[in-house]
Structure 1
Amino acid sequence: MDFSIARKYFYQEIHQADEQISLEKAALYLAMEEYPDLEVHAYLNALDTMAAEIEDRLPTAPYPLKVLQTINHYLYEDLGFTGNTDAYYDPRNSFLNEVIDRRTGIPITLSLVYLAISQRINFPMVGVGMPGHFLIRPDVEEMEIFVDAFHQGEILFAQDCQELLSQAYGQPIKLHPTFLQAVTPRQFLARMLTNLKMIYLNQGNLQKMVAAVERILLLYPDAAIELRDRGVLYYRLNRFTEARQDLEDYLALMPTAEDAAVIQELLDVIEGKDEG
C-alpha cells in the first residue's frame, strides 16, 4: 500500500458527517503511512472479537458501572492492556495497530480502543479532550463520571480530573468546564496527529513531522498555526514554492500575529532564493 493511497483513504474517511466517521478506520489509515502492509480489516476484526468477548460477559442488567467493570476486567486483566509509562513518547504508542498488537499505548490511543469496543456493544461513550491527559466518559445523561483508559480504566469524578490535570502539568491548574467537553472525531484525530508532530519534532524528523501536519490540515485546512509550521518545515526541506504559499496564507489569516515580522523575513529570504 503506497503512501498516497493511505492518505486518500484517510481523506475519504474524514470527509463525511461527524456521525459517519469511524475513528478506528481513520486511525488505521494514519498508521498505514508508517506501516504500508497494514491490513485494516484484520485490526477491525480484532476489535470486533474483543467486543464479542465482552458482550458474552455482560451482566443481565447492564448498568453503566457494571458495563465499565466488565470492559475493564477483560481489557486490563484478561488481555493485559496497560499504559506505556516506560516509553511514553515512543511513536508506536500513537498507532492503533501497534497499540492492539503490543497492548500498550498512551491515553488517547487506549481510549480509542475502549471507544471502539463500547460502540460495538451499544454502550455509547465519548472522548474528553482534557489537556495533558485524554479521558473518555459514558454518553449517559446526568452521569458525570470519567474513565482513564491509561490507568486500567479507573473511574473518575470531576474532582479526580482536577487532580489528574495538576499532576500532568506538575503544578496546580484550574479545571475549566471546557476541559471536560466531548470532542468531535476530527478533534480526536487532530490530537493524535499533534502528539506525533511533537514526537517527531523532538526526534528532529522533519519528513514525518511534515506528514503529521499535512494530515492535520486535511482535518482543518485553515488552521493558521499548522500552515505556518508546515511552511517553515517546507522551507527547511528546500521546498520553497510550497513554503511561500503556506507562509503567505498564514500572514493573510494572521496579519497581526506576534511572529508576523519573522515570517515576512523568511518570505523575503525565499524570494531572494527564487531570484538567485
Structure 2
Amino acid sequence: MQLNFEVPSALDHFACLVGHDVAFPVLEAATSLALDAAPDLDVQGVLLQVDGWVERLRKSIPVGATALQRTFMLNAFFYEKLGFAANANDFANPANSYVHHVLQTRRGIPITLAVLWMELAQGIGLKVDGISFPGHFLVKVHVDEGIIIQDPLSGLGLTQAMLSERLEPFREGWGLAEEEMAPLHLFLMPASGREIIERMLRNLKSVYVEEEHLDLLLGVLHRLIVLRPLDADCYRDRGLVLAQQGQRDAALKDLQNYVRMAPAPQDLPVIEARIELLRAEI
C-alpha cells in the first residue's frame, strides 16, 4: 500500500503557528511572513541564529544583575555590538518587514526590530511587551524601578512628554480636541502576539498595494484571513485582488462573504455591482 504525504504549504504552516494564543510564537510567525517572497527561506535557521545571540548575551550578564542592568546590557549588545538601527534610507522597502533580511542587513523598521529585541529580552529573563502605538511600534520593559517605554529603532527611553508629543499629529489628524483625546495610558496597552503579526501584515499590505504586486499582496491577505477570520474587510480586499487575477469563482465567494459579514458597509453598492459583473462573466 502506497502512502501519499502532502507537504504542508507555507500558509498551512502559518495557520498552525497562529492557531492558539497561548505561547504564541511571535518570532517564528514573523519570520514566516517572508516565505511567499523567499520560498526557500530557512525559518529554523533564523531562530537558531537568534538563539545563539541569546546564549552569548546570557554568558555576558553577571549573576544577580537587575532587570534595569540587563536592559542596559541588552541595548548595548543589540544596538552597539550587533549594530541594529533604522533603515532610514529605504523605509518603505518590504524587506524591512522580513526578519531574515533584517538579520542580514541589521536595518529595519520599528516593529521588526522590536520583535527581535523582545525575543532577546525574554531570553535573558526580562518581562517585555510590544506596544502598537500609532505610527511607530514601541516596546515596554518592566523593571523594579517601574516601566521603561523604549523606541526599538534606537533603544531610546521615552518620557510621557515625548510620547504625548508623538501623539499630537494623530490627534489633529483624527480631528479631536485635546479634551476629547483618550488618556495616554490607553495607547500604551500591551499588544498580543496576534496583534503584532497583524500589524506586520498590514504594513506589508500597504507596500504591496502601492507597488501593485498582486501575487505577494494575495499572500498577505490569505494570512490576514487566517489570523482574523471574522474581519469582513479582508474578504473584500482579497476578493478584489482575485477578480483582478481572473479567479472569478474565488473572487465571487469572497465578495459575497464580505456583503454577508460586514455591518452596513458604505461601499455596498460598489461591491454589489462588482459581484454582478463577475456573475455576468462567461
TM-score scaled by length of structure 2? 0.89
Please give the alpha-carbon distance, in whole angstroms, between the structure 1 residues aligned to 2:32 and 2:39.
10
Q: Which residue of 2 aligns with 1:125?
A: 128
Q: Distance between the aligned counterparts of 1:209 and 1:165, measured in 2?
A: 30
Alignment partners' CA distance in 2, 1:199 and 1:116: 26
Deviations 1:116-161 (A, max 9, x none): 11111111211100110001112458833211111x1111133222
Letter in 2 for 1:163: E
1-structure distance, mates of 2:9, 2:108: 26
Q: Select which of 6, 19, 24 maps to 1:21.
A: 24
1:155 and 2:149 are equivalent in the alignment: no
Aligned equivalents of 2:199, 2:144: Cα separation in 1? 26
Q: Equivalent residue of 1:146, what SS?
A: strand
The superposition leaves residues 88-129 of structure 1 with CA deviations (integer Å, 9 ceiling, x where unpaired) of: 011110011011111110000000001111111111211100
Conservation of the 8 A alpha-carbon contact between 2:209 and 2:217: yes
The answer to whether the aligner puts 1:244 opposite 2:261 as a matched pair is: no
Identity of aligned residues (%): 28
The code of the aligned residue for 1:20 comes to: A
Letter in 1 for 2:84: F
1:86-97 map, 5 Å: 86-97=89-100
Q: What residue number does 2:191 align with?
A: 183
Retained in 2: the 8 A contact 1:145–1:158?
no
- Match of residue 34 from structure 2: 31
Give the conservation status (yes or no) of the 8 Å contact 2:132–2:190.
yes
Q: Which residue does 2:229 correspond to in 1?
A: 221
Deviations 1:1-26 (A, max 9, x none): x996222211111112x232211111
Q: 1:146-186, CA deviations, whole angstroms, 9 ceiling, x for partnerless residues?
A: 11111x11111332222233468997985644321111111
Stretch deviating more after TM superposition (61-70 or 141-150): 141-150
TM-score, normalised to structure 1, is 0.90
Distance 2:23 2:66 in 1: 27
Residue range with higher mean Cα deviation, 32-41 or 201-210: 32-41
1:200 lines up with 2:208 in the alignment: yes
Compute the displacement of 1:34 (Å).
1.8
Which residue number corresponds to residue 136 of structure 1? Answer: 139
Q: What CA distance in whole angstroms lies between the structure 1 residues aligned with 2:280 and 2:117?
A: 52
**Aligned CA distance change for structure 1 residues 211 and 112 (closer, same or farther; 3 Å):** same
Give the CA RMSD over aligned residues. Answer: 2.3
Deviations 1:176-209 (A, max 9, x none): 4432111111111011010000001111111111
More helix by share: 1
Paired residue type of 2:68: L
- Once structures 1 and 2 are overlaid, which stretch shifts more, 29-38 or 68-77? 29-38
